[in-house]
Amino acid sequence: MANHFDIRFAVTRREFIALTSAALASTALNAQTTSGLANDRHRPRFHLMPPSAWMNDPNGPLFWRGQYHMFYQYSPVISIAGPKYWGHAISSDLVHWKNLGIALSPTPGGPDKNGCWSGSAVINNGTPTLVYTGVTWSAETEFAERKKGQVPERQMVAVAADPRDENLITWTKISLNPVLAAPPAGMKVVGWRDPCLWKEGNSWYMVIGAGEVGRGGMALLYTSKDLRNWTYLHPLAVAKPNPESQDASRPWASMWECPDFFLLNGKPILLVARGNTYLTGTYANHKFDQHSDGQIDFGSAAYAQKTMQDEKDRRIWWAWIREKRTTEAQAAAGWAGVMSLPKLLKLRPDGKLGVEPAEELKVLRRAKRTIADQKIAPNGPLLLRGFDSDCAEIEAEIDLGDAHQASLRVRSTRDGSEQTLIGYDRDTKKLFCDTSASSSDPETKVAPPLRGRGMEGGSIKLQHGETLRLRIYLDASVIETFANGRASLTDRVYPSSAESLGIGLFAKGGTARSRSVTRWDLAPISTDRFTSGAELFRV
Ligand code: FRU
């Protein structure tokens, strides 16, 4: 279980494109019917996603006049390299979402003609405002141009066309765009994108993700009074030296994508996309000095984390849940990408970040079944009777006893020939999700650098006598696990058998005990696996 756990070295999205662009199929969606999507048993039922096609990063989450707005990278083609739009959805409770269609589209011939990439939403003097990265490249590909040192990115602003419209349907790009046309003079950045903003006094501050080969990832800091005229200050933070950033043949490894900077209970936190990493440290003179790091989510399926603060002063975390099957399978399905559930970030007494599902999710709970105090013998029964589901929440408390590994099996056939294990390994002190046997579908065996089936996880050290407390959300092909309020682990499974719905317990190398296991059926948030409203997404 050693090395394959460590996802810090997982590729970034753009690195992946550089490595595999030739192999990527860019498939139009004509053949896909809405009913096909609505009946696709791998499509989640209580996670936000567009009606069809492609979704990646969460963008500009915003609480405005009693509603949560979520934007996300949307593309009409199933390809990581497709042209990016901003899809838009609203919710009054963080759980039930309504897709509103496209908020931002690339302007032909404009500074975002090849895509409206990731960014943030803020309220500026009462006006909801989007700040994002526009991209352009010529007939050559993006990567040919980047290799020559050209930076295809610029920073853009759009304002709510009618701030009285509480749904904020229409956005107007300002005529001054781009508000920042090039990275600071003299810097040889490998990328320059994904603005994140905050206010101090009367001034706006913005960090932009960047990086230089030899120096590594960095978040460049700018300031402005009006979101239009920006002054570059200095790097807010630069990655600690690491061997990857010395590798000129993999320039994208030297980039911090999607930086997100905020104070949590007064403590500065910087998030960067790779490995769902968070950095803690000090913030003085507008510089962040990194002291330690950790991972919010251990799963390589979660990427491009982004947070928001709501009216309850909570720090809510979102991420793109990417697919873990071949591009061809994604194209055949007609959809790819899911928004994570809302997760709350908490500062723990030991100074580390904790993560828990937002309480609002409890509104989805329906029929409940509990089994108290069960011995989990290594050769014990496979499944819990009456627990079957792929649209459920499971809460479990497990005492490891003398077992080396123990906890839950989910999405299992009666005979266990297909199953996914979610558990804790006493020897490595790791929470893990083992999807090695989750499917016999060859499309779930993915060539590196992407991850398909296998073992993923990360370290949470249970104290002596501490039980493992899990909350697991099963939603078709998505599994989101929370452990002891300390970390989450997002994974994907595509069981070949429609009967792979069993839930049970397992122990290896000894006997464990479950103090209790509860399963709630969860109510879908749409009757059609979120395929309605496709017409709003015509581009
Ligand atoms: C992260 C990312 C961002 C970029 C966006 C484009 O997944 O590469 O850096 O803005 O996706 O879709």
Going from the Cα of 412 to the center of ligand 1, the distance in angstroms, rounded, reads 35
pTM, two decimals, is 0.94
Going from the Cα of 410 to the center of ligand 1, the distance in angstroms, rounded, reads 32
DSSP string, 207-256: EEEEEETTTEEEEEEEEESSSSS-EEEEEEEEPPP-GGGG-TT-GGGG--
Q: In the prediction, which pLDDT does 249 show?
A: 78
User: What are the distances in angstroms from CA 50 to CA 79, 132, 158, 239, 526?
Assistant: 15, 20, 22, 34, 12
Measured from the Cβ of residue 367, the count of other Cβ atoms closer than 10 Å reads 11
To test the ligand 1 pocket, which listed residue (12, 13, 303) has its Cβ within 8 A of the most ligand atoms? 13
* 117 CB within 6 A, ligand 1: yes
- Burial label, 153 (beta-carbon count in 10 A; 0-12, 13-18, 19+): buried
257 CA closest ligand 1 atom index: 9
How many residues can be counted in the chain? 539
* 257 CB within 6 A, ligand 1: yes
Going from the Cα of 225 to the center of ligand 1, the distance in angstroms, rounded, reads 27
User: One digit per residue, pLDDT tens: the chain, 539 residues?
Assistant: 222 223 333 445 555 454 443 333 333 343 457 889 999 999 999 999 999 999 999 999 999 999 999 999 999 999 889 999 999 999 999 999 999 999 999 999 999 999 999 999 999 999 999 999 999 998 888 888 888 888 999 999 999 999 899 999 999 999 999 999 999 999 999 999 999 999 999 999 999 999 998 999 999 999 999 999 999 999 999 999 888 877 877 777 889 999 999 999 999 999 999 999 999 999 999 999 999 999 999 999 999 999 999 999 999 999 999 999 999 999 999 999 999 999 999 999 999 999 999 999 999 999 999 999 999 999 888 899 999 999 999 999 999 999 999 999 999 999 999 999 999 999 999 999 999 999 999 999 998 877 899 999 999 999 988 999 999 999 999 999 999 999 999 999 999 999 999 999 999 999 999 999 999 999 999 999 999 888 899 88
* 13 CB within 6 A, ligand 1: yes
Going from the Cα of 231 to the center of ligand 1, the distance in angstroms, rounded, reads 24
The torsion angles phi and psi of 393, rounded to 5 degrees, stand at: -120, 135
* 57 CB within 6 A, ligand 1: yes
Q: Whose CA is nearest to atom 6 of ligand 1?
A: 117
273 CA closest ligand 1 atom index: 1
Going from the Cα of 484 to the center of ligand 1, the distance in angstroms, rounded, reads 31
* 14 CB within 6 A, ligand 1: yes
Of 316, 314, 309, 239, nearest to 274 by C-alpha is: 239
* 72 CB within 6 A, ligand 1: no
Task: Using DSSP, state whether 374 is helix, strand or coil.
Answer: strand
Q: Whose CA is nearest to atom 12 of ligand 1?
A: 117
Measured from the Cβ of residue 161, the count of other Cβ atoms closer than 10 Å reads 12
- Burial label, 54 (beta-carbon count in 10 A; 0-12, 13-18, 19+): buried
Going from the Cα of 301 to the center of ligand 1, the distance in angstroms, rounded, reads 15
258 CA closest ligand 1 atom index: 9
Going from the Cα of 511 to the center of ligand 1, the distance in angstroms, rounded, reads 45
Task: Using DSSP, state whether 143 is helix, strand or coil.
Answer: helix
Going from the Cα of 537 to the center of ligand 1, the distance in angstroms, rounded, reads 20
